[in-house]
Amino acid sequence: MQDKTFLMIPGPTPVPESVLLAMAKHPIGHRSNDFSDILKEVYADLKWVFQTKNEVFIYAASGTGAMEAALSNLVNQGDKVLCLIIGNFGARWSKVAQSRGAVVEKLEVEMGEVIDPVILQGVLSKDVKKEIKIVTLTHSETSTGAKNDIKTLCKIIKNHGAISVVDGVTSVGCMDVKTDEWGIDVLVSGSQKGFMIPPGLAFLTASKRAWAIHEKCLYPSFYFDWTAHKKAVLEDTTPWTPAVNLIFALQAALKMMKEEGLENIYSRHKKLALGLRKACRALNLELFVKNDENASYAITSIYPPKNISVPDIRKVFKNDFDIVVANGQNQLKDKIFRMGTLGFVSERDLITAVGSLEAVLLKLGHKFEVGAGIKAVLETLC
Amino acid sequence: MQDKTFLMIPGPTPVPESVLLAMAKHPIGHRSNDFSDILKEVYADLKWVFQTKNEVFIYAASGTGAMEAALSNLVNQGDKVLCLIIGNFGARWSKVAQSRGAVVEKLEVEMGEVIDPVILQGVLSKDVKKEIKIVTLTHSETSTGAKNDIKTLCKIIKNHGAISVVDGVTSVGCMDVKTDEWGIDVLVSGSQKGFMIPPGLAFLTASKRAWAIHEKCLYPSFYFDWTAHKKAVLEDTTPWTPAVNLIFALQAALKMMKEEGLENIYSRHKKLALGLRKACRALNLELFVKNDENASYAITSIYPPKNISVPDIRKVFKNDFDIVVANGQNQLKDKIFRMGTLGFVSERDLITAVGSLEAVLLKLGHKFEVGAGIKAVLETLC
């Protein structure tokens, strides 16, 4: 049976029908009062999701665009940027920084691990001249499924006098991110993740401390310019043509998120991810991120059983159950597979996913107690 | 009666139902073979529309993003860029160039006018040291409704040894643009125009001469990087997450464009725009661009009759006929109104628009021979 695809990748994530239908409406003029009314509501709801009193900008761009939108408004040539790298998306920050002429220092750990606050403290304490102006980090590292303790890390960065620039692409709308309370300076995210809409929108918010650095940026990007965007947000508009239909979709998705409530959204994701991890262990599968404490609630990386290949697992998932799970990226390709529990994913979906995972493993000859995965899920859910 | 809006603005333009429905499908994984198949087809069709053998890149961005994608891959600090300015979008090139640290020289004409090739020749001949590396220009200037003779202008630019960077946002898919044959070096466009889909995608193609400049660009944008995009296009993919659903829409729209054929698309737009201009004259309305030769086929700027305001015209159009026409921009606000005939606009739509225009003018007390506008339209169409 075809046309019943269930995406369990870290993005795009499943999109609710009401959101798809909102998106399918005929576009309206983006300079009309009707569209300003929509933007006013959407901007307010985004502040709520981002847990900030500062403006949240909407870019017609994908998550990588939001990363450029962050650093291209901050970095001057020769500025020192410390990049905390726990996977491919952490490494991407360093490439964006280099593209702006930054001098990049890296604090890198093995994939699957997270940044130890004590080690960060040690690195920063060696920066006695306070040359490090910006520190980039990743909340939920999509390539590994690990999550950093950004609350603690951002506090250390702030105490050092640098600003924190956080990739929240697969964390905002999934895991708690208290932007203002935790003193996060720049936070970016993307639409095709916790926001439950297709890709094409990116979001960014910046603190007063970040604005002070922005004001000294000699050549901020024209397209991503914070100053132009802030002016527009305050007037319920956008500086350039927005992706009108994706904003229709965003409006509908944010309404759903408000109905569910942030705490419920976070606890749902936590329950789904930890339930999946428990199920994997019950099925004799090894998890890439060992410790639940360090695990992202958006995406779970799993080693295949010995003698069973990742492509085979993905193929049977797709062909027999129309479920799409992700391969590992780059050096982790064919070493792990990744299952997303991000966005529009319900408890029922977890039952579906783990039941299908059992079936896939059974078909491929893996040895485990059949039903143990579902039992672990039900123990988590019920 | 509500919910029957007809957009006659220069973008977003009307979207066909088949395109809206294609866009409303559930997203699929952007690294899947199914999505690569779509991209392969779309990339090939874009080359056809752009009339080039070179790759055409798709950005998740709006038209201004494509402008940044052009200059952020070419300009080093201190480079001399000549900007040919016939309106707001021509002026935008100069701002993007400045945001990259370029030294900008401007050749600017009154709004409503176009660049005289002889004058351009004169300006360039003074550049005896050949310091001008890049010349930016606009094909169809959306703020005024004027069109430059880019064939002649790009030839002059090429002969001087500079590269031409052309804004084709409201011209590609509407008016003939022979990229390779005319020696255009960089051409950008956007989705919500001749391509008949909602905003959120931008397109760019670059010549070999432009690539030679790109290779010397010290800090190209990471997000818009040509090198990363070219590599991805050759592998039927995108370097970063694409706006999946907008690409579904693009695939459907390009199919429609292929069925109609480029020559038919161009002649339809020409007929509609010249028919509208003829109708305006028959209704004693003054056109902002005097000469049909210099008129864009995408958008027509019209002075309101004396004693009738632009806001009143727009209000009656919207309230009584659910037709959205554009105001003038910036210094032309309330001085002109603009009617788009761009994209998914048929001969029937022109009859609708001009009939409604007559009704609006009649209600607001303008003196003209009732029916003269429709007569002019029918003489053009039949």
Q: Which is nearest to A237 in space by CA: A37, A25, A60?
A: A37
Asked whether the beta carbons of residue B242 and residue A199 sit closer than 8 angstroms, the reply is yes
**The two three-digit tokens of residue A128, written as one number:** 């006695």
Q: What is the pLDDT of residues A273-282, one digit of tens each?
A: 999 999 999 9
Residue pair A258/A44 in contact (Cβ under 8 Å)? The answer is: no
The C-alpha atoms of residue A134 and residue A74 are separated, in whole angstroms, by: 8
Q: How far is CA B348 from the centre of its chain?
A: 23
A78 contacts chain B (CB < 8 A): no
Tell me the backbone φ, ψ of residue A367, rounded to 5 degrees. Answer: -95, 120
Q: What's the confidence (pLDDT) of residue A192? A: 95
Q: Which is nearest to B219 in space by CA: B106, B102, B61?
A: B102
Looking at residues A138-165, what average pLDDT do you find? 98
Cβ within 8 Å of residue B122, ≥6 positions away: none
Q: What is the pLDDT of residues A287-297, one digit of tens each?
A: 999 999 999 99
The C-alpha atoms of residue B301 and residue B297 are separated, in whole angstroms, by: 11
Looking at residues A311-337, what average pLDDT do you find? 97
Considering all CA atoms of chain B, what is the largest pairwise distance in Å, rounded to the nearest integer? 64
B136 contacts chain A (CB < 8 A): no
Q: What's the confidence (pLDDT) of residue A3? A: 83
A30 contacts chain B (CB < 8 A): yes
User: Nearest C-alpha of chain B: how many angstroms from A223?
Assistant: 6
- pLDDT means per 10 residues, chain B with 382 residues, are 88 96 97 97 98 98 98 98 98 98 98 98 98 98 98 98 98 98 98 96 98 98 98 98 98 98 98 98 98 98 98 97 97 98 97 98 98 98 94
The C-alpha atoms of residue A326 and residue A336 are separated, in whole angstroms, by: 9
Sorting pLDDT into bands at 50, 70 and 90, what band is A9? very high
Question: For chain A, which residues make up each domain, given as ranges?
Answer: 6-12+261-381, 17-258
**The two three-digit tokens of residue A59, written as one number:** 């870019």
Q: Which is nearest to B161 in space by CA: B187, B124, B198, B192?
A: B124
Give the Cβ contact number of residue A28 at 10 Å: 18
- Residues of chain B neighbouring A220 (CB-CB closer than 8 A): 99
User: Is A6-12+261-381 assigned to CATH 3.30.160.20?
Assistant: no
Q: Which is nearest to B139 in space by CA: B35, B295, B247?
A: B295
The C-alpha atoms of residue B267 and residue B261 are separated, in whole angstroms, by: 10
> pTM, whole model, 2 decimals?
0.97
Q: Are strands A337-340 and A56-60 parallel, antiparallel or unpaired?
A: unpaired
Measured torsion, CA atoms of residues A24, A172, A11, A167, in degrees rounded to the nearest 10 = 120
Which residues 296-325 of chain A have a CB within 8 Å of chain B? 324
Q: What is the pLDDT of residues A351-373, one digit of tens each?
A: 999 999 999 999 999 999 999 99
The amino acid present at B317, given as its one-letter code, is F
Q: Which long-range contacts (CB under 8 A, 24 or more apart) does A222-228 make?
A: A222/B64, A222/B67, A222/B68, A222/B95, A222/B96, A222/B99, A223/B61, A223/B64, A223/B65, A223/B67, A223/B68, A223/B96, A224/A59, A224/A61, A224/A65, A224/A68, A224/A69, A224/A72, A224/A73, A225/A73, A225/B99, A226/A57, A226/A69, A226/A73
Q: Does residue A1 register a pLDDT over 90?
A: no
Q: Are strands B56-60 and A337-340 parallel, antiparallel or unpaired?
A: unpaired
Query: What is the 8-class DSSP label of residue A293?
Result: G
B218 contacts chain A (CB < 8 A): yes
Residue pair A143/A52 in contact (Cβ under 8 Å)? The answer is: no
**The two three-digit tokens of residue A270, written as one number:** 């936590």
Q: What's the confidence (pLDDT) of residue A349? A: 97
The C-alpha atoms of residue A170 and residue A199 are separated, in whole angstroms, by: 12
CATH number for the domain formed by residue range(s) A17-258 = 3.40.640.10
User: Nearest C-alpha of chain A: how many angstroms from B369?
Assistant: 32
The C-alpha atoms of residue B100 and residue B103 are separated, in whole angstroms, by: 9
- Cβ-Cβ contacts under 8 Å between A and B: the total is 184
Q: What's the confidence (pLDDT) of residue B2? A: 76
Considering all CA atoms of chain A, what is the largest pairwise distance in Å, rounded to the nearest integer? 64
